[in-house]
Amino acid sequence: MDTQARVTVIMSTNRRSPYLAEALESVRAQTVDAWEIVLLDNGSPVPDEIRAVAAGVPRCRVVREQGHVVSIPLNHGLALARSEYVTFLDDDDVWEPRRLEVLLDRLDADPGLGGVYSSVDFIDGQGRRKGPLFVAADESPRDLLSGRYPFPNIVSFVFRRTDLIRVGGFNPAFRYAEDTDLTFRMLQYARIEGVPEVLTLYRRHDDNVTAVRATALHDASRRMIRMQSWGAENHADPTIAADIRANRRALDARDAHDSVEHGLSSLRRGDVTGATRLLARAARLDPGVAVREASRRIARKARRGD
């Protein structure tokens, strides 16, 4: 691999992604050319197709994995990186051409920064903009840790490689929420900052992880936050543990909101059992949010005369 690369782009794929070539092309189109790509084929059924797509991209190395939870190939990519900085690109997302230039300039200007992230917009399967996923503003680390402001997605970051190694990389105990877990640890043991410019485009379609039902993602996040709370008991800063407890409460409120939404949708479809389960979940997690959200939706339906 090119030893002059300043940033290693780590990708993991386990499928035939119709967007892989577009994702790789968005790296080639960067205004900064000092990159390398480590593409982990995580047990895909089409290894020859992946190698064929990657063959047209300079400084792109394909490494075959056996098929693991995504943390393992991502950590392997981190181990193979030889550049000062690392970043992650999903096999269906794309970058704006100035992404690396903007984020690397910020990291170069402040050697104490462990990572920099940007705003992110949604795109659909055809690449059309569908509004913001995450807006980087003037949020502080405590705003992020406590859940007062949503976490930036891992694909919005460029990290200093030594800082990622220092916090331990991705935790293979998690099937979901492994990216949020890593961001939690970076916030506790490194310094990260955001830039407001939209530099990453996150594709939402039927086959990505966002299609997993909301309750499964919330449950995974709750398990992850419990582990964070356990670790924070020994942190030198006592405010960290309080912030993580606040994040758990914020997660419960979001989960209650989503459970009401999906519960009422189930009820409209005639699934009384599913609706009862989801509404009971909402009431257990945050009774106040459950009552307010259910009342608001029922009142809105009554106004429409449905």
pLDDT digits (tens, 9 = 90+) for 222-269: 999 999 998 888 888 989 999 999 999 999 998 999 999 888 888 889
Q: Do 42 and 115 fall into the same domain?
A: yes
Split at pLDDT 50, 70, 90, the class of 102 is very high
Cα Rg of the chain, angstroms:
21
The whole-chain average pLDDT of the chain stands at: 91
Q: Do 158 and 12 fall into the same domain?
A: yes
Split at pLDDT 50, 70, 90, the class of 211 is very low
Alpha carbons 16 and 117: distance in angstroms, whole number: 28
Kindly state whether residue 1 falls inside one of the protein's structural domains. Answer: no
Kindly state whether residue 285 falls inside one of the protein's structural domains. Answer: yes
Identify the domain boundary among 152, 184, 211.
211
The whole-number pLDDT of residue 302 equals 72
pTM to 2 decimal places? 0.88
The percentage of the chain sitting over the pLDDT mark of 90, rounded to a whole number, equals: 73
Kindly state whether residue 116 falls inside one of the protein's structural domains. Answer: yes
Other CB atoms within 10 A of residue 25 CB: 14
CA-nearest of 125, 176, 183 to 157 is 183
Q: Do 206 and 219 fall into the same domain?
A: no
Kindly state whether residue 283 falls inside one of the protein's structural domains. Answer: yes
Q: Do 157 and 100 fall into the same domain?
A: yes
The whole-number pLDDT of residue 199 equals 98
Beta bridge partners of 257: none
Cβ atoms 212, 176 nearer than 8 A: yes
Other CB atoms within 10 A of residue 129 CB: 11
The whole-number pLDDT of residue 303 equals 75
Q: Of 68 and 75, which is predicted with more confidence?
A: 75
Cβ atoms 158, 85 nearer than 8 A: yes
Identify the domain boundary among 211, 238, 271.
211
Domain of 274 in residue numbering reads as 214-304
Give how far the C-alpha of residue 207 lies from the chain's centroid of Cα atoms, to the nearest Å: 16
Kindly state whether residue 2 falls inside one of the protein's structural domains. Answer: no
Beta bridge partners of 35: 7
Alpha helix (H) residue ranges in the chain: 20-28, 47-55, 71-80, 99-109, 141-146, 161-167, 178-189, 214-232, 239-268, 272-285, 287-304
CA dist list (Å): 236 to 134, 189, 227, 265? 30, 10, 17, 45
Q: Do 121 and 172 fall into the same domain?
A: yes
Pick left, alpha or beta for residue 270 (phi over 0 → left; psi -120 to 50 → alpha; otherwise beta).
left
- Look up residue 58 and give its DSSP letter: T
Q: Do 68 and 99 fall into the same domain?
A: yes
Give how far the C-alpha of residue 150 lies from the chain's centroid of Cα atoms, to the nearest Å: 11
The whole-number pLDDT of residue 208 equals 55
Number of structural domains the chain divides into: 2
The two structure tokens encoding residue 38: 């480590």
Split at pLDDT 50, 70, 90, the class of 87 is very high
The whole-number pLDDT of residue 4 equals 80
Q: Do 220 and 192 fall into the same domain?
A: no
Give how far the C-alpha of residue 132 lies from the chain's centroid of Cα atoms, to the nearest Å: 14
Q: Do 157 and 25 fall into the same domain?
A: yes
CA-nearest of 190, 60, 215 to 117 is 190
Alpha helix (H) residue ranges in 34-111: 47-55, 71-80, 99-109
Q: Do 119 and 21 fall into the same domain?
A: yes
Identify the domain boundary among 211, 233, 258.
211
Q: Do 125 and 230 fall into the same domain?
A: no
Q: Which of the residue ranges 15-19, 99-103, 175-179, 270-274 has the most confident prediction, judged by mean pLDDT?
A: 99-103
Other CB atoms within 10 A of residue 194 CB: 22
What's the CATH number where 135 sits?
3.90.550.10
Q: Do 187 and 288 fall into the same domain?
A: no
Split at pLDDT 50, 70, 90, the class of 1 is very low
CB neighbour burial string for 46-76, b if at least 16 within 10 angstroms, e if fewer = eeeebeebbeebebbbbeebeebbbbbbbbb
The two structure tokens encoding residue 76: 């392997």
Q: Do 119 and 244 fall into the same domain?
A: no
Cβ atoms 152, 136 nearer than 8 A: yes
